Amino acid sequence: MPVLDFLNNQLLKMQWLSDLIRLLVEGVFGLPVTEWLGGSIHFFIYDVIKIFILLSVLIFTISYIQSFFPPERTREILGKHKGIGANLLGALLGTVTPFCSCSSIPLFIGFTNAGLPIGVTFSFLISSPLVDLASVLLLASIFNWRIALAYVVVGVILAVVGGSTISALKLEKYVEPFVYSAAMAQTEQQKPSVRDRLIFSRDQVLSIVKKVWPYILVGVGIGAAIHNVIPERVIAAVLGQDKWYSVLLATLVGVPMYADIFGTLPIAEALVGKGVGLGTALSFMMAVTALSLPSMILLKKVVKTKLLLIFAGLVMVGIMIIGYAFNAFGYLLL
């Protein structure tokens, strides 16, 4: 619909901002955006401003929603369900709790200590950094709503399948014993006022922006270089859609890195713009987000090596399956 397309282009893609930055680069700097230098400057300024605007608005909104789901209430909700339904609920709750993979580890300890099945906890652990409402809207702003919604669906499926598999394998004995015996603070739950929720949301915006701004600047910088400096033939020679190993390589390269999803989105955008398969770009983004080396090191402190390897293997295989599927059928979403 024309109205929806207009709103999507102006509110999410911020075409008005792109036009203003173009006027700045060409009119003030005298650099055509069709050339590499002007195009790089335009890409960098436009993406940085757009991401920070969207990130601030979205984190504020999501944090307000999150204020209704403190860890105690999340444990209570998950504890009422069993089986695959509990895994699905754990994955869905992960989408409204925008924790990074590292900050999710304390919740893993709390949930496991509270008696929740580890499979449900792992579904939450996979979904929480991988799929949140902010990433959905940012994906829609960069690509389109079909890709954003498809990303949510496959991310939730990966979380459910991963958690359900871990439950079926009965790997509780591979959780470090101290996790089960850790003392849990019992606090009386008080219903926050609207003012409390607004203050919490504001503080979350400031806290998250302070944490992720370096990754956004680096990610956008890399994206600008890929988009305007590195020749398309070079990228295609390594990660072209005709390369069977492109998804595998992108996943393996992403694992040892550490960045927030907001820092990897501009890189994914630039890769797709250079002809890299959508699935290859998303595989890189998902690997960086869900399997970063720091989060694996932290997780190793609470689970034994066998469970850590099973978890990482399940997620890595799932990411590659998703990548190849998007490469094969992504044209339907573009």
Q: How does pLDDT run across 2-59, given as a tens digit for each residue?
A: 666 676 777 777 889 999 999 999 988 899 988 888 988 999 999 899 888 888 887 8
The residues with which 293 forms a beta bridge, in sequence order, are: none
CA distance 317 to 252: 11
* pLDDT score at 102: 54
Give the side-chain half-sphere CA count within 13 A for 129: 27
Q: In the chain, count H helices and then E strands.
A: 17, 0
What pLDDT, on the 0 to 100 scale, is given for residue 263? 75
* pLDDT attached to residue 71: 65
Q: Which segments of the chain have a pLDDT < 70?
A: 1-5, 7, 69-72, 74-75, 97-105, 181-190, 258-260
| C-alpha to C-alpha distance for 110 and 118, rounded to whole angstroms | 11
Beta partners for residue 240, in sequence order: 276
Provide the pLDDT for residue 2. Answer: 67
CA distance 330 to 279: 7
Instruction: Output helix, strand, coil percentages for the chain, rounded to the nearest 5.
Output: 75, 0, 20
Question: Would you give the DSSP letter of residue 303?
Answer: B
Q: What is the pTM of this model?
A: 0.78
Question: So what's the pLDDT on residue 99?
Answer: 53
pLDDT for 54 equals 84
Residues 136 and 92: their CA atoms lie apart, in Å, by 13
User: Please, which residues have CB within 8 angstroms of residue 184's CB and are 6 or more apart in sequence?
Assistant: 110, 113, 114
